[in-house]
């Protein structure tokens, strides 16, 4: 995939709202991102920042009573928000796969694993019973399920969390989709299993040129596999760019605070956390003016009340919603990563 490759997914000005007893609540505000074929883009932020809603909006699975009230979503040049019910079913069945956060609740507990994968193939691809079962075993083998002939006869509760997640990846990629939405696929897994799942996603990307939107709250996970990352807070994308650029030259205080909160392994074998982010994320019902991160930001200024949250360029492909840019160096406009305070 070259840098000029056309995006398989483009989101612009996305706005997701919910009706509540307190009135209309805006959960995602003017969010935008794009993904090219063969690219893994991370979407990171704390719980409640709007990551999952942004991810679900791609295939119009925003839970009721939520609704997409504004914006554009294009998949391979097609208007997703304007699709008919049939077109949307085809999109979900053939073009876009989704891995949900909790694989146990996503699998039917009373059906065997092999039957669930085979049924997906029959419904989405029209395969016959024998062909579907043969292909199901191939998919289970492809995602690293050992002895798939035997394990296909197991029920979900007989699988570990990592094995269930592998089954979900098999289901999500069964129809050879061009885009994979992975919503916190490594949550609640041990470090070793996390690494295996991430390695599997990278292998699928390389072998099938599949595009991946990886949702996570963990910068350590994002850094391992992503080409680019979008940082989300309070429903807004507050910074976006190549992963190396954000690690070495983060320009939004929230991005820097996330980076500085990642646990570090010291030479003595002790794990330490450089800092924590003070306060709590805003509630969707809160009405904030200016920068949404201002109440928790150590670098807040009076001018932050006037910030529009529009993204401004820092370098090619790197944008931020913070016009103050407290980490910019006096010369050259580059951030001083070492010793900077979150």
* pLDDT at 88 exceeding the cut of 90: yes
pLDDT in tens, 242-265: 999 898 899 999 999 998 887 765
pLDDT at 172: 93
* Total Cβ atoms within 10 A of residue 315: 13
Looking at the structure, do residues 264 and 228 belong to the same domain, yes or no? no
pLDDT in tens, 271-281: 565 678 888 89
Looking at the structure, do residues 31 and 169 belong to the same domain, yes or no? yes
Query: How many Å apart are CA 256 and CA 249, to the nearest integer?
Result: 9
Looking at the structure, do residues 44 and 187 belong to the same domain, yes or no? yes
Q: Domain span at residue 64?
A: 9-233
| Mean pLDDT of the residues in the chain | 88
Q: How many domains would you assign to the chain? A: 2
Looking at the structure, do residues 307 and 158 belong to the same domain, yes or no? no
Q: Which two tokens stand for residue 276?
A: 């924590």
Q: For residue 310, which of 15, 7, 29, 26 has the smallest C-alpha distance?
A: 29
| Spatial contact of 311 and 320, defined as CB atoms under 8 Å apart | yes
Looking at the structure, do residues 218 and 269 belong to the same domain, yes or no? no
pLDDT at 264: 67
Between the alpha carbon of residue 47 and those of residues 12, 50, 284, 309, the distances in Å are: 22, 8, 12, 20
Q: Is residue 224 part of a domain?
A: yes
Which one of 233, 255, 277 terminates a domain?
Answer: 233
* pLDDT at 1 exceeding the cut of 50: no
pLDDT band for position 133 (cuts 50, 70, 90): very high
Q: Is residue 1 part of a domain?
A: no
Q: Is residue 3 part of a domain?
A: no
Q: Is residue 25 part of a domain?
A: yes
Q: Is residue 268 part of a domain?
A: yes
Query: How many Å apart are CA 314 and CA 239, to the nearest integer?
Result: 10
Q: Is residue 2 part of a domain?
A: no
pLDDT band for position 337 (cuts 50, 70, 90): very low
Looking at the structure, do residues 252 and 220 belong to the same domain, yes or no? no
Looking at the structure, do residues 80 and 168 belong to the same domain, yes or no? yes
* pLDDT at 4 exceeding the cut of 60: no
Q: Is residue 207 part of a domain?
A: yes
pLDDT in tens, 191-248: 888 899 999 999 989 998 999 999 998 888 898 899 999 999 999 999 999 999 898 8
């Amino acid at each position: 995939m070259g840098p000029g490759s056309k995006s398989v997914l483009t989101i612009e000005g996305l706005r997701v709202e919910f009706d509540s007893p307190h009135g209309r609540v805006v959960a995602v505000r003017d969010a935008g991102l794009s993904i090219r074929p063969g690219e893994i883009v991370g979407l990171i932020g704390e719980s409640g920042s709007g990551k999952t809603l942004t991810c679900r909006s791609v295939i119009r699975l925003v839970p009721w009573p939520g609704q997409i009230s504004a914006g554009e979503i294009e998949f391979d040049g097609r208007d997703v928000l304007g699709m008919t019910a049939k077109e949307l079913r085809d999109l979900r069945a053939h073009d876009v796969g989704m891995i949900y956060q909790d694989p146990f609740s996503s699998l039917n507990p009373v059906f065997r694993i092999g039957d669930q994968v085979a049924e997906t193939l029959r419904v989405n691809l029209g395969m016959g019973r024998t062909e579907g079962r043969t292909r199901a075993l191939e998919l289970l083998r492809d995602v690293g399920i050992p002895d798939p002939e035997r394990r296909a006869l197991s029920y979900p509760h007989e699988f570990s969390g990592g094995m269930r997640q592998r089954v979900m990846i098999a289901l999500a990629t069964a129809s050879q989709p061009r885009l994979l939405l992975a919503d916190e696929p490594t949550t609640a897994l041990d470090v070793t299993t996390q690494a295996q799942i991430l390695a599997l996603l990278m292998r699928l990307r390389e072998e099938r040129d599949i595009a991946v939107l990886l949702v996570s709250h963990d910068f350590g996970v994002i850094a391992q596999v992503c080409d680019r990352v979008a940082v989300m807070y309070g429903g807004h994308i507050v910074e976006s760019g190549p992963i190396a650029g954000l690690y070495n030259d983060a320009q939004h205080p929230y991005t820097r605070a996330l980076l500085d909160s990642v646990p570090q392994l010291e030479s003595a074998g002790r794990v330490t956390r450089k800092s924590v982010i003070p306060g709590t994320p805003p509630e969707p019902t809160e009405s904030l003016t200016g920068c949404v991160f201002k109440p928790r930001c150590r670098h807040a200024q009076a001018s932050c009340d006037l910030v529009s949250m529009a993204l401004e360029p820092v370098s090619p492909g790197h944008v931020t919603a913070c016009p103050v840019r407290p980490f910019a160096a006096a010369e050259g406009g580059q951030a001083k990563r070492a010793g900077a305070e979150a």
